[in-house]
Amino acid sequence: MLLHIDSSADPVADSVSRRLTRRFVTAWRAVHDGTAVCRHRDLAADPVPPLTAAYTALGRRVEREGLVHPEKVPALLDGPAERREWELTLPLIEELCSAHTVLLGVPMYNFSVPAALKAWIDRVTFPGAFTDPDTGQSVLRATRVVLVMARGGAYGPGTPRASFDFQTPYLKAYFGNLGVAPERLHVVAAELTRADVLPHLAGLEERAARSLDRARAQVTALAAAE
């Protein structure tokens, strides 16, 4: 299964990340000839609710029990508020665990990720949810993650603002900590996506076009690979 997650607040017409993830999905469907499932989660259209005290209380109780498989969490619920939090959380965990490939469209907002994506990250990262209690290994170790990022400016290696990129290292650290193997984590970044509208980026339109062309080629190639 392909789990396709978009987090841009913009519609497709105005969102580079959404257009790139759509390109990936189109190429992926062509390769799989309609035989595989693609599930789309739009975090802007259908936001994940932020955490509450009931979520954190349940999480601490689960942590005290050690490694608890999600199917055993209901036995630890205390009251309707915790039950509601778990009902909001479990489907996200199951989606992520079921995916062979996770495709994330991530625009850079204020040097990092959109709040909509952070809310998904906070909720889905429930204690022990991705650890096999029998082996202690991550259930996501074979999952492929494709991060498709869009930045209005230039933040790549060697650029003056490279140190302002908290988007790439954060997502790499996050998925690495979940147990995704480094060779299964792929990063695609389209830079200078606002070069056509921001005066201080004037003259960089050609460089922006090359970056977008590279990103298009990368997502197409990644969609065809396993």
Q: pLDDT digits over 20-34, tens only? A: 999 999 999 999 876
Using one digit for the tens of pLDDT, what is the confidence trace for 97-119?
A: 999 999 999 999 999 999 999 99
Any known ligand binding at 109? Answer: yes
The residues facing 106 across adjacent strands are 149
pLDDT at 200: 82
**Residue 17 among known ligand-binding residues:** yes
Q: Is 8 assigned to a binding site?
A: no
Higher pLDDT, 130 or 67: 130
Structure confidence at residue 53 as a pLDDT band (50, 70, 90):
very high
Residue 177 assigned to a binding site: no
Does the annotation place 163 within a ligand binding site? no
Burial class (CB in 10 A: 0-12, 13-18, 19+), 206: exposed
Per CATH, the homologous superfamily of domain 2-224 is Flavodoxin domain (3.40.50.360)
Provide mean pLDDT across the span 142-149: 98
pLDDT score at 67 = 79
- pTM value is 0.95
Cα–Cα distances (Å) from 77 to 29, 65, 74, 81, 173, in that order, read 40, 13, 5, 9, 30
Higher pLDDT, 191 or 66: 191
- Determine whether the annotation assigns residue 16 to a binding site: yes
Instruction: Provide the residue ranges of all domains of the chain, joining segments of one domain with +.
Output: 2-224
Give the C-alpha separation, 105 to 139, whole Å. 23
Which band of pLDDT confidence, cut at 50, 70 and 90, is reported for residue 204?
Answer: confident
16's CB contacts (< 8 A; 6+ apart) are 107, 150, 190, 193, 212
Q: Give the whole-number percent of the chain exceeding pLDDT 90.
A: 83
Is 111 a known ligand-binding residue? yes
In the numeric block, which tokens belong to residue 142?
């074979």
pLDDT tens string 124-143: 999 999 999 888 899 999 99
The whole-angstrom separation of Cα 33 and Cα 27 is: 10
